[in-house]
Amino acid sequence: MLAKEYGYSAVFSRSDRHFWEDVLAPLVETQTQLSPFEVMYLMEVLDEKQGQRYQGFRVSLNYQWSESASQSEDEWNYVHTFRPQIDLTWSTNPTLQQQIRIGTHASLTKQKRGGTEPREYRPIVAYAEHLWNVTDRTLWTNRVDYSSSFDLSNDREGHFVELSSQYELFIEDKLSLLGEISGKFTNLTVDDEVNQTWSMTYRLGLQYDLDRTFFN
């Protein structure tokens, strides 16, 4: 419960009341002293994996421009890039153990290179993620990502879909076991020619955290 304290403020309007009711209720019922093992367990609680938690809706508007120059055969080539973009993210924690996030990113990129015709790109990215604390020491995250890119100058179009699932088990003393599986599908169209690929990735490893962020 102590590791989930900051999550109460995102789920409940009267967070302190709910938090201390959940913490003190078992102690009041048992009326027994904690064993040395239970004390050590409480010390490790603050190191448990809870994932990065967010709550609410966020909108971000940006306008980016850049200039670059390169020299080739005693001739300078200048590239000017203009990119307005918008980011939308919605996050909710229906319970202390679960979080749902949905987001999208869209931009319009125009690139001017020397005396050539301007090139125009329209990339779009969208994702959905579900985070679940299955137990007090296990974190399971499932995510789907979709992205597309349209090169209007060269009649080129690409679509990418990736599914991933990651399982994390907190062992002890900031040591965790990680397992992840992901699959990616690519559909690329160039001049009416379609190319499709599918790939799978597997990962298994150990992780030891020397330090943590303020909110995990």
Q: Is residue 169 part of a domain?
A: yes
Question: Which pair of tokens denotes residue 39?
Answer: 């004390």
Residue 5's pLDDT is 65
- pLDDT above 90 covers a percentage of the chain that reads 30
The CATH number of residue 95's host domain is 2.40.128.130
Residue 195: pLDDT above 70?
yes
Domain count, the chain: 2
Q: Mind listing the pLDDT tens digit for each residue in 19-59?
A: 767 776 766 666 666 666 666 666 566 556 677 888 899 99
Strands 119-121 and 75-95: unpaired
- pLDDT above 70 covers a percentage of the chain that reads 77
State whether 10 and 88 are in the same domain: no
For the entire predicted model, the pTM comes to: 0.67
Half-sphere exposure of 2 (CA within 13 A, CB side): 10
Q: Mind listing the pLDDT tens digit for each residue in 116-163?
A: 777 777 888 999 999 998 887 889 999 999 998 887 667 778 889 999
Residue 189: which pLDDT band, with cuts at 50, 70 and 90? confident
Higher per-residue confidence, 193 vs 59: 59
Residue 131's pLDDT is 94
- Residue 66, Cβ density class (10 Å: 0-12 exposed, 13-18 middle, ≥19 buried): exposed
With beta carbons less than 8 A apart as the criterion, state whether 3 and 48 touch. Answer: yes
Considering 9-13, 16-20, 76-80, 168-172, the range whose residues carry the highest mean pLDDT is 168-172
Q: Is residue 136 part of a domain?
A: yes
Amino acid 81 reads T
State whether 122 and 67 are in the same domain: yes
State whether 8 and 81 are in the same domain: no
Range of the domain at 197: 52-208
3-state secondary structure string across the chain: CHHHHHHHHHHCCCHHHHHHHHHHHHHHHHCCCCCHHHHHHHHHHCCCCCCCCCCEEEEEEEEEEEEEEEEECCEEEEEEEEEEEEEEEEEEEEECCEEEEEEEEEECEEEEECCCCCEEECCEEEEEEEEEEEECCEEEEEEEEEEEEEECCCCEEEEEEEEEEEEEEEEECCEEEEEEEEEEEEEEEECCEEEEEEEEEEEEEEEECCCCCCCC
Residue 109's pLDDT is 82
Residue 215: pLDDT above 50?
no
Residue 28's pLDDT is 63
State whether 10 and 104 are in the same domain: no
State whether 112 and 73 are in the same domain: yes
Strands 156-172 and 119-121: unpaired
